[in-house]
Each structure stands twice: as C-alpha cells, then as structure tokens.
Structure 1
Amino acid sequence: MSIQFAPSPRSTLGLEWELALVDRESRELSNIASLILPELQANFPTSRFPHFTGELLQNTVELVSAPYRRVSEATADLRELALVAREQARSHGAELIGSGSHPFSRWDQQLVTENERYDRFMEKYRWWGRNMLIWGVHIHIGVDREDRVVPLMHALLSHLPHLLALSASSPFWAGESTGYSSNRTLRFQQLPTAGLPWEVDNWTDVERVLEDLALTGVIAEPTEARWDIRPAPRWGTLEVRFCDGASTLTTIGAIAALTQCLAEYYQQQADQGETLPRLRPWFLRENKWRAARYGLDAHIIVDNSGAQVPLRDDLTALLARLSPIATELGCESELAQVGDLLSDGTSAERQLRNYEQFGGVAAGKQSLVAVVDSLTAEFDSGLN
C-alpha cells in the first residue's frame, strides 16, 4: 500500500477538543449532539477544516482548530468555537464539560451517532464499543519531511507518561472512584487497533503495516488504526491522541505547548544528525500504565538501561531544557502553565478533591454531581 505523506510546515499545530454535553438539571450526559451540530455548522461552514464534528456517541461535540504556528492562536480559535458551542448547548438545556470520563453516567443510556463508519464500529466491537464513554484531546504537529515521521513518533512516545499524567482527568467510571488517574486510557486500549503503535522503523514499514491490516480486514481505512501517536498523511502531521479530555482551555494550551516544544526540540536534534531516542516497547507500555494509574506521582523509566525517576522531577527538568525552544516558538507562557499543573494539580486530582469535599462515598450521587458542577465551572472559567 503506497501512502503519500503530504508534508506541512514544521512544528505547526492543530487542536481537537472533545467535549461532553450534560443536562443542566440532572447532570447526566445529554444525547443532543444531533440537534446542536447542524446549528453550529451553519454558523461555521466547513472549508478545508471542519470546525465542529460529531463523534461516536451523541453526547459529544468536538471542536477543531485550524493549523497555526503559535499555541496562543490555536487556543484562541478553540475559545471562539467553545463560546458558540456553549451558547447552542444552553439553548437546549445542556452545559459542556471537558473530562476524560463522566463521573456517573452509564454507557447503556447513550445513543450512537448514525453513520456508516460508526455502524461498522459498533457491529464489530459490540459491548466494548458501547463502553467507549470517553473524551480526549488530540494534538496535530506539522512534519515537513516524510523520513522524519517515524523517528519523531518514537521520540515523542518516550514522553507519553509526561503528557498523559498532565492531562489525566478520568478518575471515575459509572459512579465509582477507580483508583486510576486516567481510567480512559485502560478503556480505550481494549480496542484491538488502539494503543501503542506497532513497531515500525521507517515510512515503508508504516505502509506495510497498514496494508496488512487492510488486507486482513482489521481496518477498512488507515484512520481506523487508532494508535496513541499516529501519522496523519493527509494533513502532514503526527497526531498525539492519548491525552484525556481537558477541563480548561489553559490545560490544552499547556499540553499543546509541551508537545510542540518536544517536537521542535527533536527536529533540531535531527537537523544536527543526532539519533532520536527510542524507548523499548515494554518500557513504553509500563510507563503508560504507571501514568494512567498514578498520574504525576508515577515513577517512570527514562532510558533503555531501565533507570527510573519521579515523573514530577523529570517534568521539572524537561521544562528547563525546553525553555529556549518555547521562546523560539512564542509559547513561553503556555509552557510555564505546565508548572502550574505540577503545583496546583491535574483535573483528576481536582475531581477527587471535590468528590471528597462533598462527602465521597458516604454522600452517594451528591458528591458525584458536585464533581460535574466543578467541571462545568472550570470549563466556563477558561472562556472568560
């Protein structure tokens, strides 16, 4: 299978933000995307890039930015879209939240979006497909050379635990505190085409893997390979897909800045003829699990000798190393907000604090409703 990678300007970025619709009264998920998406799309007609899209379930609206050179430009685009989406949701008695999971709504009460692709998905995956009650943030990073795609993908995978832990926002599932910072991570990788990429060394290997998957009926088209980081040949990007849904626009900016700086840092290393880092797959898998389980409190494996360090310490050192890159890219303030997440806590940590503050298990659903209210407030505060 020959797949042409259409190069795009280096280290540009585009953002995709999946948001959940919740009923204003019950705080349950609200299956009204089919009502509000036509209204949103009428206000923002699709050109090359869609601005608002549906997802597998009708409780979801996805906001899509255009590509930009600066993080601030991409988040400003999302802010404009979010304000319009919130207005439309409220006109139908709903609010928007950004989170990797909903604290208590159940999968069997959700409606599937009707289209050929999702029909095929549900027919194949059945119960596990219906359990994809999850939301994420996807970050597209521009790559200007086909031969850089795979080495850069492996280099970015070595920082999967950093980005995943910072974005972690799914500690609850169907009314239970799971003990995981990102329960979404464990849910999503149940799909056979999801999770860490297959072992590939170059672009020819990517083509060969996708051809094998298509030939054997594993996928119908390349985007059904739902890897944690995957090439997006049509757009000329690497798509970072493993982050949990973001509760605030500020969090998206911080995670996007860290991703953009890492990509540019490694592309500059490649410019100098250096070999980019590639962590062994069994270490990658363990790091992913530790970040999903423990969030920022994880200890991670940082090299192929098996050396381990506290994730918080490694992030602090990483921010210092990337500071000159952030200055070049104009995202100093957004990268500095990663430090705020380290000190103030992630969405998962805040959700758990709110849960306990309002009574935890003893308070039953009341404490979970309080978590939804806190997520609604956080989303709103980020738009003001």
Structure 2
Amino acid sequence: MSASLLTKGFEVELFTGRSDGRVVGVAAEAAAALSGFVTEPDHRNLEYITEPDADYARQLALLLEPRRRLRHWLQDRGLTLLPGSTLSLGDSRRFERSDPSNPYHGFIASAYGTRVVTASVHINLGLTSMDPLFAACRLLRCEAALLLALSASSPFLDGVATGAHSQRWLQFPLTPEQVPLFLDHGHYIRWMEEQLAAGTMRNIRHLWTSVRPNGDDRPHRLNRVEIRICDLISDPRLLLAITAFAELRLWQLLDDPDAHDPLLASRLSPDALAELADANDQAAARRSLDSELCDWRSGETITARAWLRREIDALWPLAERSGLAPWLLPLEAVLRDGNQAIRWLALHRQGESIEAILSREVVWMEEQERTWDPAPLNTEALHPLG
C-alpha cells in the first residue's frame, strides 16, 4: 500500500554546543557553510528541512544525512549536537541574534525574548483537497496533546528541573492567543485576513499553534497539515513512529469522517473543542504520558498513556495491512519506559546532574547516528502493546 502513503516532510530545529551539554551558537556560520540549513532568530539553534517523500525508509535517510554533515562540520570546531528542546543549562536571560540586520528577527527578540529559543520538530503531512485537509487539522489539533506526550524532551531550563515535562510548550508564545477550530477553508481565509488586519499576526507565518494548515501561498493555496507541537525527537525512528501514528489516524479519518472528525463526532461546539484541545496541550506539557486529558469524543477524563494505548489498539489492523506496523514499534518503549523527559527526570531524582544526563545523551545520539540505516525495524509485526 506504499502508493497510498501520504507525502511527509520534517522541519528539524537543533541546538549545538559542547559535549557537556552547554549550548554554543554557530547558526549563521553553519548555515553559510552547509547547504540545506537555515538560521533561527537566536543563533544557538538552526534548522533543516527534509524533502517531501511518502516512503518512511527514504525519510529516515533524509533525516540522517543533514545531521551527519552538520556533525562533521561541528566536530572540527570541538562542538556537537545537543538533545532537548530548551536551554537546559542556560542562559535564557539574553537573546543572541543570529542576524542583527533582520527586522523580523528584531521583532521576535523584542516581543518574545528567549521564550522562542527552543528546538522542536514539525511534521508535515500532504493533503491537497481542502475538506480532508481541514478535517485533518481538526482531528490532529484535538489529539495534539498525545503527540506532545510521546515527544516531551524539555524538563530543564537554566540548570534546573522546571517541574514540567515540556517546558518548551509551556513557555512558547502561542500566537494569536486564541485560535478557532477551522470549519472549512473559507473560515480559515477570513480568520487569517482578520488577524492580519488587526495586527494580532505580523505576517502569514505568525500563526503559532499546535497544528495549522500550510502551503506555498497561505491562506489560499494549501497542500499540507503541519504538526508543530512536538518537542525535539532525537531518535529519528521514534519521530517516524509518531508520524506513522498520526498518518494512520488520518487514514481512519479519511475512511470514516463521521466517526473521526471532531466537528461531526463530538457533541461539543467548535469553540469548546478548541478550548479542550488547548487545555489538553497544557496538561500534556506538564506531565506528558501521565497527564489527565479530556477525550474530545466523550468528555471523559483519561490519561495520555491510556488514550494512546486505546488508539493504537484500534488502528493496529490498519497498520498491519498498510505495512506500517514495523514503523510503529518504537512507541512500545516510550509507553513502557517513558519519553525522554520522564527518563531524564527519573535520573535527576536519583542524584544525577543535568550535565551528566545531557552528556550521556550526546554520546548516545552520536553512537546511534553512526549505526542507523534506512530500513524498518527487523522484528515481527506483533502488536507492541498486546
């Protein structure tokens, strides 16, 4: 069924620094020296984007190749790639501009400060028909908290444990503060035009929410749904597992909109659904897999871990038929052992310093990067949660 797979692509933001976990900014120099890399407003992190491709093995190769080039360039300067999505060891007191002449960067620095100095990964899934695209936006927004629960990797800031699992999502300035559940393409266009006219958005890119429509000529020409809520996922296989989970949920939606489109399958109003989704996102940022969320279908309270188990149970036959079951398997370890934030916090409670935790993860990232190859997991397609 590979011909039926959705195209997908990734925007990956990374911190660079020393092997002890201290951030060192080199974004402008790296972007000038390496093709495919672009700067963020603060020079301590930079971004690369993979080409759209439906095949998961191909995407694994596309995710790894820029990382390996960047790592080689960094090694000549005594630097490396860092895990996590916040300035774990500091310093969040100051903004370090990557391009002092860029007026948009100046606006970001003055309006938001280091709240935006985070690393993350954005998942783009291709849909070109407008009704399915906006249905996908609704479903993914109502379940975005599950994706954050799987990916949370930012429990530290400025050398301390913040008490959250995704400090990144708690501090990042959602803009505008209230974003509706878009009813259709026309609703989205009108709302965008109103925000731009009112100044609550500076430009068409200035829609910072968990899930948004995307395309080459927003708001009119759209061709993908962009999931923006995930923390940085250091392990590309886990990133692809989360992507496969989201894609399979969209297949369920496309096959049976009445059962999976929140606009059709929930008794809540669109405004109430938007409020529910945002509240769930905040809860997942605080306790990730152990957070108590509100199910958009029934209104019942359920932990993120239990909700994920239920959804994977329901989509597993589809995963097997489509050949995506092997790509889902990394989710088993997350649900069993915890995400990166949960594992780090457990080590920290046992007395390990943040420096030691990050240093170990830096080594793990480099070792795994050398051994990964673009093939699915070599294991039987057994139900990982059975």
By the TM > 0.5 criterion, same fold? Answer: yes
Q: 1:353 corresponds to which letter in structure 2?
A: A
Cα shift at 1:33:
1.5
Aligned with residue 9 of structure 2, among 4, 14, 19: 14
Specify whether residues 95 and 204 from structure 1 end up closer, same or farther in structure 2 by C-alpha distance, changes over 3 A only: same
Q: 1:193 corresponds to which letter in structure 2?
A: P
Aligned with residue 132 of structure 2, among 139, 148, 161: 148
Aligned with residue 211 of structure 2, among 224, 229, 241: 229
Cα shift at 1:143:
0.7
Cα shift at 1:304:
4.9
TM-score of the pair, normalised by structure 2 = 0.85
Unaligned runs of 5+ in 1: 1-8, 42-50, 361-366
Q: What do residues 297-319 of structure 1 show as CA deviations (whole Å, max 9, x unaligned)? A: 11221135421122212211211
Matched, 1:252 2:235: no
TM-score of the pair, normalised by structure 1 = 0.85
Instruction: Map 1:82-231 onto structure 2 (within 5 A).
Output: 82-114=67-99, 119-123=103-107, 126=110, 128-188=112-172, 190-193=173-176, 197-231=179-213
Q: Distance in 2 between matches of 1:274 and 1:214?
A: 34
**In the alignment, is the contact (CA less than 8 A) between 1:164 and 1:292 conserved in 2?**
yes
Cα shift at 1:61:
2.3
Specify whether residues 238 and 115 from structure 1 end up closer, same or farther in structure 2 by C-alpha distance, changes over 3 A only: farther
Cα shift at 1:132:
1.9
Matched, 1:33 2:18: no
Unaligned runs of 5+ in 2: 217-221, 267-272, 372-386
**In the alignment, is the contact (CA less than 8 A) between 1:10 and 1:144 conserved in 2?**
no
Specify whether residues 374 and 300 from structure 1 end up closer, same or farther in structure 2 by C-alpha distance, changes over 3 A only: same
**In the alignment, is the contact (CA less than 8 A) between 1:75 and 1:252 conserved in 2?**
no
The residue aligned with 1:261 is: 248
Instruction: Map 1:28-107 onto structure 2 (within 5 A).
Output: 28-41=22-35, 51-107=36-92
Matched residues, number: 354
Cα shift at 1:375:
2.5
Q: Distance in 1 between matches of 2:75 and 2:343?
A: 25
Matched, 1:377 2:335: no
Q: Percent identity?
A: 23
**In the alignment, is the contact (CA less than 8 A) between 1:319 and 1:335 conserved in 2?**
no
Aligned-residue RMSD, C-alpha: 2.2
Specify whether residues 320 and 149 from structure 1 end up closer, same or farther in structure 2 by C-alpha distance, changes over 3 A only: same
Q: What do residues 145-168 of structure 1 show as CA deviations (whole Å, max 9, x unaligned)? A: 012222211111221121010000
Specify whether residues 86 and 71 from structure 1 end up closer, same or farther in structure 2 by C-alpha distance, changes over 3 A only: same
**In the alignment, is the contact (CA less than 8 A) between 1:71 and 1:256 conserved in 2?**
no
The residue aligned with 2:381 is: none
Specify whether residues 61 and 124 from structure 1 end up closer, same or farther in structure 2 by C-alpha distance, changes over 3 A only: closer
Q: 1:219 corresponds to which letter in structure 2?
A: M
**In the alignment, is the contact (CA less than 8 A) between 1:139 and 1:239 conserved in 2?**
yes
Specify whether residues 193 and 381 from structure 1 end up closer, same or farther in structure 2 by C-alpha distance, changes over 3 A only: farther
**In the alignment, is the contact (CA less than 8 A) between 2:88 and 2:157 conserved in 1?**
yes
Q: Distance in 1 between matches of 2:323 and 2:197?
A: 44
Q: Which stretches of structure 1, 4 residues or longer, exceed 6 Å deviation after superposition?
A: none
Q: Distance in 2 between matches of 1:58 and 1:124?
A: 13
Instruction: Map 1:351-370 onto structure 2 (within 5 A).
Output: 351-357=344-350, 359-360=351-352, 367-370=353-356
